[in-house]
A and B are shown apart, each in its own frame.
Chain A
């Protein structure tokens, strides 16, 4: 059974639809620690502002509980950011699972000859490289995945996929049983489906 962490961040339909597409319908949406501890795997989705989301985890005592889990945990987007040490968004102190900080993109001054102007959020399809861990089994270096975000986790020793927009950043992070993608595997076509499948098979 997959437990999706319920901390009142809204719509999880895209995640449950993506699970269903890879054949997984055995999931619960819960903030119950006992269920989270018993589940085979845990997904920490994320929508919204980091400091608000962190406060919602803390209200439920999940900010100190999630780091103690020993089975595979996957953060998505803001869920991943909450697993880092801190975020510049609302100056959030986060769970500190991944040894990195979350910063806001700072676009360069656009030049006349530039065909693409750096915009915030970083939105659309970008590539992941330097892939590590079984989360990226059967995924080619340079594969395209879908991003929508204004804040990014910096590169660090826990980086398991690197992307580049304005600067290099962690497209995904991994440490022990914890994984997190800054991109949206649930919206990333066949590549995203493979990544979700890989997580379910960990």
Chain B
């Protein structure tokens, strides 16, 4: 049976991960490769590395890091952050990324999705949407939720799929960071509306939250950061608990 995926997300700045505590046996939590390897060994199904560097130098460091990740890590990984041209995508593919996620750049210029997907295939392109519920309507935002756009979530997700995105990573800005759970009804509506897999992100505070979005929310995968980085819910504990709830996971 196809397993539901658990995906830790690592934020990287100037080549180093920025969140997290020092786990036992892991001296340098800033070492993005070591932290990713640890998650992979613990049973993470994929990894997402997000580059939050603001400088060109930081981005070059990130590309170098991607080749090191590809050499070390034996599960699929997605990279995102600052990808705004097909050249950015090519550079990361050449470095060994399995997928790239694009967000603001696709809102500015939706054709970017078509260009990358037609060159490298839909399986390489994840469309990331950060949306906020305002007056009953989900609108996409950019710049980490700081700027609003007029793109409606369902229409934009559908357009991205038609342009060739192979997967949707949806974050609710109303829930992100709250640890109160995911908007499961919205996820379920997205699942009915789209034919590409959906990764749920933003809001996980407990095992129950993740179980809910993978069942009632009909999401294919759950992505989280802080619950893993701060050691609150270790991946093996999470996966065991999901298996006990009869959710198909890779143990």
Contacts and interface: CB of A to CB of B under 8 A. Distances in A.
Interface of A: 11, 13-14, 17-18, 20-21, 47-48, 110, 115-117, 119-127, 144, 146, 148, 164-165, 186-190, 192-193
Contacts of B215: 115
Given A144-B250, A187-B75, A125 B5 contact: yes
Given A48-B121, A120-B195, A125-B3, A187 B250 contact: no
B74 A188 contact: yes
Contact of A119 (B1, B196, B214, B248): B196
B76 interface: yes
Contacts of B96: 11, 13-14, 17
Contact of A189 (B1, B4, B74): B74
16 contacts: A11-B96, A13-B94, A14-B98, A21-B74, A116-B4, A117-B218, A121-B123, A122-B2, A124-B3, A124-B5, A124-B45, A186-B74, A187-B75, A189-B40, A189-B74, A190-B74
A190 B166 CA distance: 26
Of A21, A164, A187, chain B has the most CB atoms within 10 Å of the CB of A187
Of B1, B123, B221, chain A has the most CB atoms within 10 Å of the CB of B1
B74 A18 contact: yes
Contacts of A124: 2-3, 5, 45, 197, 220-221
B207 interface: no
Contacts of A186: 74
Contacts of B4: 116
B21 interface: no
A125 B3 CA distance: 6
A1 B13 CA distance: 40
B227 interface: no
Interface string B133-152: 00000000000000000000
B18 interface: no
Contact of B75 (A110, A122, A146, A148): A146
A119 B218 contact: no
B29 interface: no
A194 to B, nearest CB: 11
Nearest to B40: A189
Interface in B120-138: 121-123
Contacts of B192: 110, 117
Given A11-B94, A189-B74, 16 more contacts: A11-B96, A14-B98, A17-B96, A20-B71, A21-B71, A115-B215, A117-B195, A120-B195, A121-B122, A121-B166, A123-B123, A123-B166, A123-B167, A187-B74, A187-B98, A190-B74
B95 to A, nearest CB: 8
B241 interface: no
A21 B191 CA distance: 37
B52 interface: no
Nearest to B221: A124
B105 interface: no
Contacts of A190: 74
A75 to B, nearest CB: 18
Interface string B210-249: 0000110010110000000000000000000000000010
